[in-house]
Amino acid sequence: MVNIKSLAVSMFGRVVDKYGDLFSIVRTSLPKAEIRMTFRTYVSIVFLIATITYIASLFVLIFALTIVEISLMMKIVYLLFVPFMNSIACIAIFIFYPYNKASSRRKNIESNLPFVLTHMGAIAESGVPPYVIFRLIAEFEEYGEVSKEMKKVVRNIETFGLNPLKAAKEVAERTPSDKLKQILLGFVTTTESGGDVKLYLKNAGQQALFDWRIKREKYLQQLSAYAEFYTGILIAAPLFIIALFAVMAMIQPTVAGYDILFLTKVSIYVIIPALNGGFLLFLRGTEVEM
């Protein structure tokens, strides 16, 4: 992997230096996605992979076109556009991967945050110092990405020798969740100003639980609407269309020049599965972790 990094940087490092501003989303997302790689190295590797994809696609396409008999013009069009589009798709996937991973971590953090704050408030009631609070939360793997963020705070204290408040500030600047960032910075400010940390954590926990309940109820209402849409559009409508095709086949075997049996097969094996797959992806994109 080290050799690949060196090769990528040597080939595309200067290109990244010149056009790096076009990929600012990668620069901001890498640390939040926990991808331990510099911006210059990551984008250089993306360009290297895209180049390899282009060359591989070109060779595969040349081989395929020697077998398939099509016009010379179409061969030229395929050779010009297919490898290029594959490379663009490759770049798009890897460029947005850090952002998607950071977004996934943010959702996990914010879904666990209300319970973490309640736990932190209970720990603070015993009067322990901030370091102990962070360390105890870091030991609870059930809190997912929140425990990982707390482990970073503990690492900054134990390995790098930072004081607990400065360590929390450093993690707050890199966390993908704005809510966790506000909590950590609020914790630091309250402690430094001599405020009541117990009261702060209690109020923050109550507010987070209230927001979590509202968000969950709203999502459940949306699911109810989605269920009605699915029943009407993706269950009843396909059954009606297939029944209509069956009746039409007895009257006239073709529609607009297409055989009705062929249209029925396309509907059953292509269109309906594609619509269901698209609906599942839509649900996945709007999913709220609970």
Cα–Cα separations (whole angstroms), residue 230 to 117, 163, 217, 240, 245: 37, 54, 20, 14, 21
Element (H, E) at 84: helix 72-124
- For residue 161, list its beta bridge partners: none
> Are residues 119 and 196 located together in one domain of the fold?
yes
Domain of 199 in residue numbering reads as 107-212
Q: Rounded CA gap, 267 and 263, in Å?
A: 6
Residue finishing a domain among 47, 80, 102:
102
> Are residues 132 and 181 located together in one domain of the fold?
yes
Q: Rounded CA gap, 104 and 176, in Å?
A: 9
Q: Which residues contact 165 (CB under 8 A, 6 or more apart)?
A: 130, 188, 191, 192
Domain count, the chain: 3
> Are residues 204 and 133 located together in one domain of the fold?
yes
Q: Is the pLDDT of residue 1 over 50?
A: no
What does the pLDDT average to over 122-142? 89
> Are residues 96 and 159 located together in one domain of the fold?
no
Query: Among 146, 125, 126, 142, which residue's Cα sits nearest to residue 134?
Result: 146
> Are residues 79 and 33 located together in one domain of the fold?
yes
136 near 223, Cβ under 8 Å? no
Residue finishing a domain among 169, 184, 212:
212
| Predicted local distance difference test score (pLDDT) of residue 288 | 61
| Predicted local distance difference test score (pLDDT) of residue 225 | 85
> Are residues 17 and 96 located together in one domain of the fold?
yes
Highest-confidence segment of 95-104, 208-217, 233-242: 95-104
> Are residues 75 and 88 located together in one domain of the fold?
yes
Residue finishing a domain among 45, 67, 102:
102
Higher pLDDT among residues 23 and 246, named by residue: 23
> Are residues 193 and 226 located together in one domain of the fold?
no
> Are residues 208 and 219 located together in one domain of the fold?
no
Phi, psi of 187 (to 5 degrees): -60, -45
Highest-confidence segment of 32-36, 217-221, 236-240, 241-245: 32-36
DSSP character at residue 68 = S
What does the pLDDT average to over 57-84? 86
> Are residues 123 and 70 located together in one domain of the fold?
no
Percent of all residues in the chain with a pLDDT value above 70, rounded to a whole number? 97
Q: What is the pTM of this model?
A: 0.76
pLDDT band at residue 48 using 50, 70 and 90 as cut-offs: very high
| Predicted local distance difference test score (pLDDT) of residue 2 | 52
Crossing angle of helices 164-172/145-158, nearest 10°?
140
Query: Among 112, 133, 115, which residue's Cα sits nearest to residue 191?
Result: 133
| Predicted local distance difference test score (pLDDT) of residue 80 | 87
Cα–Cα separations (whole angstroms), residue 220 to 108, 175, 289: 18, 28, 12
Higher pLDDT among residues 80 and 245, named by residue: 80
Tokens of 74: 């179409």
pLDDT band at residue 289 using 50, 70 and 90 as cut-offs: low
pLDDT band at residue 166 using 50, 70 and 90 as cut-offs: very high
Q: Rounded CA gap, 153 and 227, in Å?
A: 43
Q: Is the pLDDT of residue 91 over 80?
A: yes
> Are residues 54 and 95 located together in one domain of the fold?
yes
Query: Among 220, 236, 233, 205, which residue's Cα sits nearest to residue 286?
Result: 220
> Are residues 72 and 137 located together in one domain of the fold?
no
Query: Among 146, 144, 201, 196, which residue's Cα sits nearest to residue 171?
Result: 146
